[in-house]
Amino acid sequence: MDVIQSSLPYDVTLKIASSLPVRDVCALGSCSKFWRELCGSDCIWISLYKWRWPSLCYSSPVSDNTIKSQSSDPLFKDWRKLYIGRHNEMAGGAASVVNSVEQCSSSISLEVGDFLKAIKELCSLQLGFKDVELFLFKPELSALLNLIGLYYCIDWLEVPSDRIMEALESCKITERQVFVKWWKLGRWFFGFRKRDELQSRLVSLGDLAMAKDDELLRVLRRGAVYEVLRVQISVAQASSLPWVSSRPSIS
């Protein structure tokens, strides 16, 4: 590292460090005093901060001009400390959502009201996409919590589907499945109301990320309102649901 340091101009080494993810920046900063000071500079951490938390809407990292103008602003100092504080705040908020969902469900079934409440909590916390990937896409968590994080990315952060799929595959949860049932008010037919209709879907997180079931996403978005009387989301248990297919069923 000292050889690289002595053979490259300062602006080039700064550019190298600025292109790294946060974990690599921290690793590089442990190599020497020079790299520790460089990797602790505000012009690097402001970029990392703004890339990770782009105000509830997915966007690309801020430009070099923005970094320079903000890092020279006296109101923006010690961005590394600010980043660490924000990370800890997001970790605590995500843990609260996880605990809340686990308390209101048996970890295998969740009513849509509790599902939408969890989404609202994520919105109030202003979690970024990387936060969801770190704290809610964990394979050791219930598929219901994976789904909450996925839906938040699709409907609120509006993250591109290929970006979501990359994260799902990295976390090895693409093929995890959830089973969704919803009851619709029976239609009127010649003055008589028919029986309420039960519809269901067995769908993978990967298919939802690629928007292969728009109707299911609409049901989750609306919840139990108007003609939909109830929506229930369950962890898919293939052995206990032998009759379920990916097509809608009506009874």
Residue linked to tokens 């490259």: 8
| The pLDDT value given to residue 154 | 94
Give exposure, 180-210, as e/b (b: 16+ Cβ within 10 Å).
bbbbbeeeeeeeeeeeebebbbbbbbbbbbe
- List the single range of 21-25, 190-194, 201-205, 223-227 with lowest mean pLDDT: 190-194
| The pLDDT value given to residue 189 | 67
Give me the amino acid identity at 234: S
- From CA 251, how far away is CA 249, in angstroms rounded? 7
| The pLDDT value given to residue 107 | 58
| The pLDDT value given to residue 133 | 96
Residue 75 has pLDDT above 60, yes or no: no
Residue 10 has pLDDT above 60, yes or no: yes
> Residue 40's CB: how many other CB atoms inside 10 A?
17
Q: Is the pTM of this model over 0.85?
A: no
| The pLDDT value given to residue 18 | 84
CATH architecture of the domain formed by 2-77 = Up-down Bundle (1.20)
- How does pLDDT run across 146-199, given as a tens digit for each residue? 999 999 999 999 999 999 999 999 999 999 999 999 998 866 666 676 677 899
Can you point out the beta strands (E) in the chain?
109-111, 177-184, 188-189, 192-193, 197-204, 228-235
Domain boundaries, given as residue ranges, for the chain: 2-77, 82-235
